[in-house]
Amino acid sequence: MFNEFLATHEKLKNANVEDPLLETLRFFDIRSDGALGRAGLCQDGQTKIDIETVVRKRELGIPIEHILGKACFMGRSFRCSPDTFLPTEQSGLLIEAARTLLQERASAEKGPLVLDIGTGCGNLAITLALTSASVRVFASDISPAAIEIARTNVSRYGLDHRVFLLAGDLLSPFQEGGYEGTIDMILCNPPYIPTRSIGKLPRALIEHGPRVAFDGGPFGIDLYRRLIKEAPALLKPGGILLFEIGEMQERLITRILEDQGGYGDIVFYNHGEKVRAMSARKKQGSV
């Protein structure tokens, strides 16, 4: 295995990828279904992979996750495709915050009810369900193709009885289904890149990722405005809206929350030294 690691690193280095060591580590972590990330080692007795093919596709800018057909998130493996936004490490903030915030609501008879909006491959919904035994999650995505990928991941982890999937735009799948005032938490990782900044993103993301998953409109906040406006109708009093944000967007989004009214207890969550997630609570008595 060590010799294979060195050979893979050398081939990626010769292919002039930006960070061959990081690429090699990611390759072995994904191939081993997250074993490297979980335990600091990599063991893989699964199907052999043609390294030459991997290197050739990486030279074309195709992400390793798409080449292998899977990505890792918080030590777990998820099937993915170009129809799904690839999980990122910083989204673990949402899981940790959600688990803490939901503890106070875990005494509910049926367990807390969470909506995961823009679920992609389902990594947030599935990870939350696996780490919070009483939680039920309804996950949605505007892309039917992404929903099908998420469905395979839900089945793989045996969560068909607690993670339910719907296709639709933002909160629309829940607005006429009797969900009004029943939701404990709305969880979302919306697109937050300003349209004018998309050209600065890595080539792999621009050419091989779903644009709808990262293009946040002229100022990167289009989906936040809609989410913040529509969420109170679905949340219970005291229910929580929790979402990831782009760098230095916290002040602008705080202003949107305050202007909308009906929210309080706004909390910031840091990834490193930067705020990358926020939560707000629906005030008692607000509609």
Give the relative orientation of helices 123-131 and 144-156 as an angle to the nearest 10 degrees.
30
Q: What is the SS3 assignment for 89?
A: helix
Please tell me the distance from the alpha carbon of residue 139 to that of residue 173, in angstroms, as a whole number: 10
Active-site residue, selected from the candidate residues 28, 78, 138, 189: 189
Q: What is the 3-state secondary structure (H, E, C) of 24-51?
A: HHHHHHHHCCCHHHHHCCCCCCCCCCCH
Please tell me the distance from the alpha carbon of residue 267 to that of residue 246, in angstroms, as a whole number: 15
- Residue ranges of alpha helices (H) inside the chain are 2-14, 20-31, 35-39, 51-59, 64-68, 92-102, 123-131, 144-156, 203-208, 222-230, 250-260
Close Cβ partners of 215 (under 8 Å, ≥ 6 residues apart):
191, 193, 195, 198
| Catalytic status, residue 14 | no
Close Cβ partners of 18 (under 8 Å, ≥ 6 residues apart):
none
Active-site residue, selected from the candidate residues 190, 191, 194, 232: 190
| Catalytic status, residue 189 | yes
| Catalytic status, residue 218 | no
Active-site residue, selected from the candidate residues 28, 78, 85, 214: 85
Q: Enumerate the β-bridge partners of residue 114.
A: 137, 185
Active site residues: 85, 189-190
